Chain A
Amino acid sequence: MSLNRLTISEARDKLDAGEISSLDLVQDCLERIKEIDERLRSCLEVCQEKALLEAKEADARIKKGETGALLGIPYIAKDNILTKGVKTTAASKMLENYIAPTDATVIKKLRHSGAVLLAKSNLDEFAHGASTENSAFFTTRNPWDLERVPGGSSGGSAAAVAADLCLFALGTDTGGSVRAPASFCGVSGLKPSYGRCSRFGLIAMTSSTDVPGVLSKTVSDSALVLKAVAGRDEYDATTPDIEVGDYYNNLGEDLQGLTAGLTQEYFDDQTDPEVIKLVKTAVNVLEEKGVKIKETSLPYSKYSVPTYYIITPSEISSNMARFDGIRYGFRKEQGVSSLADVYHKSRAGGLGPEVKRRIMLGTYALSAGYRDAYYLQAQKTRTKIKEEMDSALEEFDFLITPTSPHIAFKIGEQSDDPLQMYLEDIFVSGASLAGLPALSIPCGFSQGLPVGMQVIVKRFDEQTLFDVSYNYQKATQWHLQKPDF
């Protein structure tokens, strides 16, 4: 068996028993990347030399008797997460040659845990998108069908996990960017509560909803990774001092007595009937496990996409102001006479069309005369959306929705229609606006392509998220299916 196909817990057992080394694992992953990534195009940069070195260090630590869930485990990080000494481009010409002086907190924590960074993965430029087609470099393919998108924006990370290039991957989720590609690629995608993990070193998009997330082969693996990367960070003032659970060891063995709400708005005619059927079948599995299921309604959920697409571009227009051609990144040299020219032309030359669109949209929404009508209205509607989801989660232990209304679409099919692309976030943006933890897990196939189910729980109740999904995965085989290539 190729070791790159292992889950984290399988590899852990073999590493601890001395059957394999971290170097073996890393070599198999690098071999796999070399073999297929020319076609899959999930990685922007492979750090072969460093990875081999880190694997040897991990092996030395294991030999000394050190233990740890991620010690010696190879992973891939989305390329909008800063990695010291390895390029971080955000898939933008703006940062084509950028090397960060420090690690993001989540990367630093993984380094301490002894996890081995294999590569940086592709994304929509600055994470602006839902298909990975907005990468300034190339489009990542869906491993289940190379003519289709992997979803986005963490499309490279999701495709890499699905195709066994690594044991797990980090992504970022602002309005569905971990969950949506997890659903399209048939892997588990975790978006923790806002503030559960530090955002320090994530290239900022929407600061009020950005979170680092985990793409993995099983839910129990994401429980292991979350424990390693979560917690209060003095460099991110939005991380509350709330205890990080021992999620993996506390995984509940049954779901007796839990209640789940099925949000009827997510099961109407906007959703592919095949997707509805599969999610409802998954709900039956949970019911057999003792979960009490009831229909519920979130009338404000239909406003989550318009709310999100005011708040997000507004925050983007502010966050992207740092790319000015002065301190780092692309600078236009020709035809530049004043400082203002440096700004205007460097931004024009370094940023791609979707990034420009969002900067424009946000600047418009925040400009004189429009701020109250758009931005403030969106912030108030956000309050409504949050209150409504919170009160549903008072009634239920968790909510279930399809992750996406359909299966992965074809490359190029809707890349010229920004509004259509924004509507991709229809089921996933609510949890982001409310800061709730949510997870997408595979629940079947339609036309040979994976379908995902989303579970949403109360803020900082990630344990319930894992319990529900883990018991579902114990009872089903969907997460074990592999693309054939």
Chain B
Amino acid sequence: MIKKEEIKHIASLARLELSEEEIEKMSDQLSDVISYIEKLKEVDVAGIEPTAQVTGLENSVCEDEVREWNKEELESAVSQAPEREGEEFKVRRVLEEE
């Protein structure tokens, strides 16, 4: 069983505000899913390498170069922001004043 305190901690790590009702429900539902997932613990994985991807490709790199983006697409991208200044996104102050 995942306790409500733990749900609150996870939610804060995920930058996700949850209502009391959501916390309650989440605690039940996640506990359900996790107890099912516990089944994985019976798999013997000694000496097995983890798989993160299946393409067999390694170190796929490209030139680090600046490419021009046409004005119309740039404008279309920036115009999606709730707050902007010119061609930049506007963000609230990160550090609080003393």
Write the residues of chain A forming the contact surface with B, with a CB cutoff of 8 angstroms: 84, 98-102, 194-195, 208, 234, 237-238, 240, 300, 303, 306-307, 309-310, 317, 321, 324-329, 331, 338-340, 342-345, 347-348, 351, 353, 356-357, 359-361, 363-364, 367, 373-374, 376-384, 386, 418-419, 422, 434-435, 459
Any A CB within 8 A of the CB of B86: no
A-facing residues in B56-95 (Cβ within 8 Å)? 56-57, 60-62, 73-74, 76-77, 80-83, 89, 91-94
Using A360-B16, A380-B48 as known contacts, say yes or no to A419 and B33 having CB atoms under 8 A apart.
Answer: yes
Which residues of chain A come closer than 8 Å to B1, judged between CB atoms?
A: none
Which residues of chain B come closer than 8 Å to A208, judged between CB atoms?
A: 52-54
A422 to B54: give the CA distance in the assembly, Å. Answer: 23
A-B contact pairs, 30 of them (CB 8 A): A84-B73, A195-B55, A237-B62, A240-B56, A303-B43, A306-B40, A309-B33, A317-B14, A327-B89, A328-B80, A338-B96, A343-B15, A347-B16, A348-B16, A356-B16, A356-B18, A360-B7, A360-B11, A360-B16, A367-B10, A374-B40, A378-B40, A380-B48, A381-B45, A382-B50, A382-B51, A383-B48, A383-B50, A384-B48, A435-B54
Q: Are A377 and B40 in contact (CB under 8 A)?
A: yes
Which residues of chain A come closer than 8 Å to B41, judged between CB atoms?
A: 373, 377
Q: Are B76 and A99 in contact (CB under 8 A)?
A: yes
Using A347-B15, A367-B10 as known contacts, say yes or no to A325 and B40 having CB atoms under 8 A apart.
Answer: no
Write the residues of chain B forming the contact surface with A, with a CB cutoff of 8 angstroms: 2, 7, 10-18, 22, 26, 29-30, 32-34, 36-37, 39-41, 43, 45, 48-57, 60-62, 73-74, 76-77, 80-83, 89, 91-94, 96
What's the least CB distance linking A291 to chain B, in Å? 27
Q: Are B37 and A326 in contact (CB under 8 A)?
A: no
Q: Are B91 and A339 in contact (CB under 8 A)?
A: yes
- With contacts defined as CB atoms under 8 Å apart, how many contacts are there between chain A and chain B in the complex? 159
Which residues of chain A come closer than 8 Å to B32, judged between CB atoms?
A: 418-419
Query: Across the two chains, which residue of chain A brings its CB closest to B84?
Result: A327
Chain B interface main SS type = loop
Query: Across the two chains, which residue of chain A brings its CB closest to B93?
Result: A339
Which residues of chain A come closer than 8 Å to B48, judged between CB atoms?
A: 380, 383-384
Q: Are A347 and B40 in contact (CB under 8 A)?
A: no
Q: Are B55 and A326 in contact (CB under 8 A)?
A: no
What's the least CB distance linking B14 to chain A, in Å? 4
Q: Are A310 and B10 in contact (CB under 8 A)?
A: no
Q: Are B22 and A356 in contact (CB under 8 A)?
A: yes
Using A99-B76, A326-B89 as known contacts, say yes or no to A194 and B54 having CB atoms under 8 A apart.
Answer: yes
What's the least CB distance linking B5 to chain A, in Å? 13
What's the least CB distance linking A208 to chain B, in Å? 5
Query: Across the two chains, which residue of chain B brings its CB closest to A347?
Result: B16
Q: Pick from A328, A360, A384: contact of B14, CB below 8 A.
A: A360
Most buried by A among B26, B29, B33, B74: B33
Using A326-B91, A348-B18, A377-B41 as known contacts, say yes or no to A364 and B55 having CB atoms under 8 A apart.
Answer: no
What's the least CB distance linking B60 to chain A, in Å? 4
A360 to B16: give the CA distance in the assembly, Å. Answer: 9
Which residues of chain B come closer than 8 Å to A340, judged between CB atoms?
A: 15
Query: Across the two chains, which residue of chain B brings its CB closest to A331?
Result: B82
Given contacts A195-B54, A300-B43, A328-B81, 19 further A-B contacts (CB under 8 A): A101-B76, A237-B61, A238-B53, A238-B57, A306-B36, A309-B36, A310-B40, A326-B81, A331-B83, A339-B91, A339-B92, A347-B17, A348-B17, A356-B18, A364-B30, A377-B43, A378-B40, A379-B52, A459-B54
A74 to B30: give the CA distance in the assembly, Å. Answer: 42
Using A101-B74, A363-B14, A435-B55 as known contacts, say yes or no to A325 and B82 having CB atoms under 8 A apart.
Answer: yes
Which residues of chain B come closer than 8 Å to A382, judged between CB atoms?
A: 50-51
A367 to B48: give the CA distance in the assembly, Å. Answer: 22
Which residues of chain A come closer than 8 Å to B82, judged between CB atoms?
A: 325-326, 331
What's the least CB distance linking B29 to chain A, in Å? 5
